[in-house]
Structure 1
Amino acid sequence: MQRELIVSFDVKIIDSLGVKLYTTIPPMIAELIANAWDADAHNVWLKFNNSSDKHIEVKDDGCGMSFDELNKHFLTIGRNRRSDLNKDTSSEGRKILGKKGLGKLSMFGIGEKITVSTIKNGHKTTFVMDYEIMKATESDDVYKPLIKDLDIETKEPNGTIITIGGIRRKTAFDLNAIRNTIRSRFHIFSKDFVVHINDDEALLIDDNAMNVGEYQFSWKFPDDFEDMRNNFQDLYQFGVNKGITGTIYTAKTPLRKEAQGIVLFSRNKLVQENKTFNPRGNDNFFQYMTGAFDVDFIDNDLRIDNCSTDRKSLAWDNYDNDDLVTLNEFMEKLVSITQSGWREKRKEEKKKKISEKSIDVDQWIENLNKAEQPLARKLTTAIIENDNIDETRASEYVQCIRDMYGFSSFRDFTQQLDEMQALDNENAIKLLCDWGEIEAKEYAKIALGRISTIDQFERYISKNASETKVIQIFLEQFPWLLDPKMEKFEREVTYSKLLKQKFGEDTDLPETNRRIDFLCTNSSGIIHIIELKRPCIKLTAKEMSQVASYTEFIKKQFPANAEKVKGYLISDNMTFESGAETIRKGLEKEDIYIKSYSDLLAEARRYNQQFTNVYEEIHSLSIADN
């Protein structure tokens, strides 16, 4: 009687546990890699053919299967390998991964024709399974695969080759994506168990290392969870007693969706795909979190299976299993502790970067008065803890917050925040967005006041007011009328005062102790010598000679700053006596200028008007946005 290979099945099982359960390539390939591991293979070769005859070949150098083993083991659907053999390890001592006996069905989710060729101890068997023929088989019948090689003798080494043909997929295989997914589903790869993809060295899989180069922080259990041991002793001890190990990583920037969450492995094989282990999982933290844990204890029983059929998740809804319930609580607590730790670490890291780029946040807040500190801390915390604000923008925002405290509008605004109870992070960030308008409003308020001052000064000029009794006194109060950047300002400075400041009390004074109307410096370090005349006076060579003499004196006394000394003669009558125009042009070469009050006031008006214009523009945009 001719020997036959027999598959006993129900078509519905093939459909439900094959075609519909495995619809993508990596999980299916993972099942075949697990089989190769259990067969003590040291190499698995994957060949993806994108030609018109699209097919996938999976070859291993494991122990192979005899004809009888094919019938009793491989072709028996639903066979629990571990309980059937009553052993937990392979011949070489590897922990056996297979348990459900359904991995072979996964191939029908990708292709319709499966060819298996296996060699063991010099005997080779090859057969073909056709999904369309299997579907046509009556429920009460058995399916008999087409045998091509029936236990023939061969000198080829042990191993198995599975070819998946009749592939429904039309697009080309993405080998990099397949490699990354396979690599993420196991912790079994090493120099002793290597997966080769299309003989491309760049696609070789021979280690399990996670790419932690992109990650910012990490927490390893149990080493980095001392607080858990102190505050949640029962859960901590559960993790230790069950031999749970693993690491949670957080990235600098949000991760790809498929990389977010924690995966669980048992016996070095994926049993739980990415999971947040948080009931809500909507916090920004979960966009940055990833990790992997080994939970071998859940798969130690030879008979009980805690994994879902497709190995995408554990059977968390099995409330009869106390270990699974506690494992879920354990993972939730790890994630919760990590979430809090991540926020603190990110906050300190951001503060450090901000300090390097701009200001020391803590030191600045410490230097504020006690009444101002709570709001400053609230606002800076809102900026630093906002995951959407990078370090550069955070630095800019914190500088703006610091500058706000110099403006009364900001202080008035903060009093309306109901003692800060209503100031949540969103409002704090909104406040920063309104900063441009607040700042512009303050400057506009100052500018409007200055424009009123300019109007008053123009009235004095039009009335030909006295330079000593009116104009000098007015300019002493409002030096910005002469230069918007004016800082240091001294009125009626005598030669003797300057010489005493420079050389001491014993200095020989000049014969004429002349008096300079104004000696000023601006923010650029320029020294202004200013001589004022009554607005309507006609300037002569005498007045021009006077300011030239003052300027020359200052340059000689302060030679190091000679290039920064400028002289100004100011009146409002720009008609000169005969010959004075020539002198004026010569003085300009020596940085001595004659200006009119009207020119100075027009320049001051333009300078301050720009602030009111900016405020009006920002305010109108703000109204439009709302």
Structure 2
Amino acid sequence: MNNDTNLTLTFDGSFLEDHARLIMTDAKTALVELIANCWDAGANRIDIVWPDPAPDNLKIKDDGIGMSRSEFERRWLRFNYDRKREQGEQVIFPVGNIASHRRAFGRNGKGRFSMFCFSNEYFIETWKDGKSNTFCVKRNNGLSALPFNITHVKEIDKPGHGTEISGELVRNHLSIDTIRDLIGSKFITDPTFNIYVNEELVKLTDLEHLFDRQTIFVADVGEIIISCIDSHKVGRTSKQHGVAWWVQKRLVGEPSWRGFDDDAYLDARSTEAKRYTFVVEADILIDDVREDWGEFKDTERFRQANRAVRNAVLKKLRELMVDEHKSAKMAAVRENRREMQSLSPDSRLHVGQFIDTVQARIPTINQKVLSTTVEILSKLEQSRSKYALLDQLMKLNPDDIDNLNDILSNWSVQEARIVLNELQNRLKLIESLTGLVDNPAADELHQIHPLFSQGLWIFGPEYESIQFISNVTLLRVIQDLFQDNQTVKLDNPKRRPDFVILPNSTIGVYASDDFNRKGEVNGFAKVLIIELKKGGSEITVKERRQAEDYVLELRKSGKIQPTTELVAVVLGSRVSGDCTEVNWPEQNTRITPYSYSVILRFAHARTFNLLEKIRKAKDIELSDPEIDRVLQVETQSQFV
């Protein structure tokens, strides 16, 4: 056996795609690479003839330095040609061209395969020093000794310098508009570099007039320039948003917010993400760019630079959004002016600080959601400043002076004032009700029932919580007990969906949620039914039994649990002697008739007594003497 036998090396037809990757398969990458080759040749002008429609002849011609036959053969017949070692990093300009400081994009010669993205065969004519040489480059299919062949076609005399690549565009066609947009977005404006497509000059990206340029220094990497484009301020919208990395006046990949996915500022759908573009000029990273310029290599240098740029961009975004956050905050407060005015200065401060925190944590929160948040915060602050304090009072007997003094000793004067203001408001509510409930002409729908809805605390300390709210679902169960001709029809029923309206009464249902061990809502803990009879009416056993029907119907509906506590209160001007409270302990249910006067006197006495005791214990005046004097004088003058 002869051990010296040489084996034949062959290439599969897919070798070039694997070798050159996107340069061979992606039309945009291929075209940009062909233009980059012209840049490296020191060209001042590039003329592209782009067929539309295809197939037709594609030509790319430049006025660069060109190549002699020997230079072409040395560069094009060598795989992984090392541009930096053979020609240096700096571009050499031909005599007669306008020179500038250019660093070459090419490094390994893969750009020569770009035309294979559009055709399996192409021609290249290059001229220099009075001679022009034309070559045919043809791809081999299937197994072959070489992945492609290069044939010298002819040599002729020709003045000047330049190169033209041509071939039939048979695949991967793009529209003319796409071509112009692509080229314009990939290269920076340079007076020594002009590109024409079908004889029309392409407008390249202008970075000279960017505002807010800053230079950052990255340790072990070097200087990087970051600029910001605000599409609102420049008066135009851009199709590109995000961070755009530029190296030696060429875009790397596409602008995007990749790498910012975990930051609340830049959900790619947000207004800010669509508004701002950050231009990063990082010429220092030329050796960290992949061959096809689709992205950077995963090097330590790039990772360091990327972290520094990310931090700088986020810092700038926070600065840019400060004024917008203030405007959004003020707009949200204006929409909730009434609720905010009812808060103490201390509570307003708490709401304001909370809004700031929300905007910091969720910078892209929209105006509608922010306004709703302010509304909820205002109500929660009311509960914090009133109900949390009132709950301490309502759970003890007002006659228990020792325990009351213990509670008051832990309150600040501000907290005591908050509670006193609330107690005064409650006294005013009781006063309003007292003047209405026994009046047969009073409108229980529009006057009486809304006041009772605000004053559920009248029925006992357990209703202090703001968790008790009107429940339309349970109300409909009761409403279904009545035939259509038994209820009163409203001109606009949508305005009062929270009551059942009968000819001589109105019914409201209020409920508090129950929660399981995980803190999730698990049905209803307690349900309160309030039926208000017209002024002058008497509550008899008949009216009480009607309330019994309500609770039984709710039990049968399956909308409440067996453990839910059910309380029904029937209110009228008088209660007959035989109409007493009904208590069903086994069903956790109670129906109680009340006269308006009894329940309101009890609520008034309890509220007034607490108010006086707190005022005296804290030595707090409930009014301003100067304001009272002015108002009193104005009132007296009206009667003169």
TM-score class, shorter-chain normalisation, is 0.5 to 0.7
Alignment CA distance shift 1:405-1:136 (3 Å): closer
Code of the residue aligned with 2:113 in structure 1: it is L
Q: Is the 8 A contact 1:125 1:151 kept in 2?
A: yes
Give CA-to-partner distance per residue, 1:111-143, whole Å, 9 cap, x none: 322221222233222232222xx235623x585
How far 1:450 moved relative to its partner?
9.2
How far 1:413 moved relative to its partner?
10
Give CA-to-partner distance per residue, 1:565-611, whole Å, 9 cap, x none: xxxxxxxxxxxxxxxxxxxxxxxxxxxxxxxxxxxxxxx99799874
Residue 335 of structure 1: which of 313, 335, 338 is its match?
Answer: 313
Residue 135 of structure 2: which of 106, 122, 127 is its match?
Answer: 127
Which residue of structure 1 lines up, in the alignment, with residue 224 of structure 2? 244
What are the equivalent positions in structure 2 for 1:603-622 lying under 5 Å apart?
611-613=495-497
Matched, 1:369 2:378: no
CA distance in 2, matches of 1:607, 1:450: 26
What are the equivalent positions in structure 2 for 1:473-488 lying under 5 Å apart?
none
Code of the residue aligned with 2:25 in structure 1: it is T
How far 1:62 moved relative to its partner?
1.6
How far 1:406 moved relative to its partner?
11
How far 1:294 moved relative to its partner?
1.8
Comparing 329-338 with 36-45, greater Cα deviation is found at 329-338
Which residue of structure 1 lines up, in the alignment, with residue 542 of structure 2? none
Matched, 1:312 2:313: no
Matched, 1:151 2:131: no
CA distance in 1, matches of 2:129, 2:305: 44
Q: Is the 8 A contact 1:18 1:109 kept in 2?
A: no
Q: Is the 8 A contact 2:40 2:106 kept in 1?
A: yes
Which residue of structure 2 lines up, in the alignment, with residue 162 of structure 1? 165
CA distance in 2, matches of 1:161, 1:65: 11
Q: Is the 8 A contact 2:231 2:238 kept in 1?
A: no
Alignment CA distance shift 1:50-1:180 (3 Å): closer
How far 1:209 moved relative to its partner?
3.8
Code of the residue aligned with 1:329 in structure 2: it is R
Give CA-to-partner distance per residue, 1:198-243, whole Å, 9 cap, x none: 2335xx224534997xxxxx75323xxxxxxxxxxxxx54369823
CA distance in 1, matches of 2:72, 2:509: 81
CA distance in 2, matches of 1:384, 1:143: 59
Matched, 1:344 2:337: no
Which residue of structure 2 lines up, in the alignment, with residue 439 of structure 1? none
**Residue ranges of structure 2 left out of the alignment (5+ in a row):** 1-9, 94-98, 392-427, 449-487, 502-507, 514-522, 524-640
Alignment CA distance shift 1:382-1:196 (3 Å): same
CA distance in 1, matches of 2:384, 2:346: 19
CA distance in 2, matches of 1:415, 1:210: 65
CA distance in 1, matches of 2:82, 2:191: 29
CA distance in 2, matches of 1:194, 1:151: 29
How far 1:295 moved relative to its partner?
1.7
What are the equivalent positions in structure 2 for 1:268-417 lying under 5 Å apart?
268-271=249-252, 273-274=254-255, 276=257, 278=259, 280-281=261-262, 283-287=264-268, 288=273, 289-299=276-286, 305-316=287-298, 318-319=299-300, 323-351=301-329, 368-375=344-351, 377-379=353-355, 382=358, 390-391=366-367, 393=368, 397=372, 400=375
CA distance in 2, matches of 1:144, 1:451: 101
Which residue of structure 1 lines up, in the alignment, with residue 122 of structure 2? 114
CA distance in 1, matches of 2:384, 2:509: 15
TM-score under structure 2 normalisation? Answer: 0.52
Which residue of structure 2 lines up, in the alignment, with residue 264 of structure 1? 245
Identity of aligned residues (%): 16
Residue 138 of structure 1: which of 136, 144, 154 is its match?
Answer: 144
Code of the residue aligned with 1:168 in structure 2: it is R
SS in 2 for 1:152: strand
Give CA-to-partner distance per residue, 1:466-491, whole Å, 9 cap, x none: xxxxxxxx99xxx989xxxxxxxxxx
Which residue of structure 1 lines up, in the alignment, with residue 174 of structure 2? 173
Give CA-to-partner distance per residue, 1:249-306, whole Å, 9 cap, x none: 56679x999834323222222345445464744535252153221222233xxxxx42
Alignment CA distance shift 1:372-1:21 (3 Å): same
Alignment CA distance shift 1:396-1:76 (3 Å): same
Residue 40 of structure 1: which of 39, 42, 46 is its match?
Answer: 42
CA distance in 2, matches of 1:414, 1:211: 60
Q: Is the 8 A contact 2:83 2:107 kept in 1?
A: yes
Which residue of structure 1 lines up, in the alignment, with residue 191 of structure 2? 191
How far 1:145 moved relative to its partner?
2.7
Q: Is the 8 A contact 1:125 1:152 kept in 2?
A: yes
How far 1:79 moved relative to its partner?
0.9
CA distance in 2, matches of 1:248, 1:174: 30
SS in 1 for 2:42: coil
Give CA-to-partner distance per residue, 1:376-401, whole Å, 9 cap, x none: 5425764797566545x468648856
Q: Is the 8 A contact 2:240 2:277 kept in 1?
A: yes
Q: Is the 8 A contact 1:9 1:77 kept in 2?
A: no
SS in 1 for 2:309: helix
Alignment CA distance shift 1:607-1:176 (3 Å): same
CA distance in 1, matches of 2:308, 2:213: 14
SS in 2 for 1:312: coil
Matched, 1:95 2:128: no
TM-score under structure 1 normalisation? Answer: 0.53
How far 1:39 moved relative to its partner?
1.4
CA distance in 2, matches of 1:619, 1:382: 34
Q: Is the 8 A contact 1:346 1:385 kept in 2?
A: no
Q: Is the 8 A contact 2:138 2:148 kept in 1?
A: no
CA distance in 1, matches of 2:389, 2:11: 75
Q: Is the 8 A contact 1:124 1:153 kept in 2?
A: yes
CA distance in 2, matches of 1:350, 1:210: 33
**Residue ranges of structure 1 left out of the alignment (5+ in a row):** 1-7, 213-217, 223-235, 300-304, 417-445, 462-473, 482-603
Alignment CA distance shift 1:162-1:354 (3 Å): farther
Code of the residue aligned with 1:190 in structure 2: it is D
Alignment CA distance shift 1:367-1:312 (3 Å): same
How far 1:49 moved relative to its partner?
0.8
Comparing 190-199 with 10-19, greater Cα deviation is found at 10-19
CA distance in 1, matches of 2:489, 2:436: 7
Alignment CA distance shift 1:389-1:15 (3 Å): closer
Give CA-to-partner distance per residue, 1:342-394, whole Å, 9 cap, x none: 45343134346668x86899x96897331453245425764797566545x46
How far 1:248 moved relative to its partner?
4.0
Code of the residue aligned with 1:338 in structure 2: it is K
SS in 2 for 1:370: helix
SS in 2 for 1:243: strand
Residue 205 of structure 1: which of 197, 203, 206 is its match?
Answer: 203
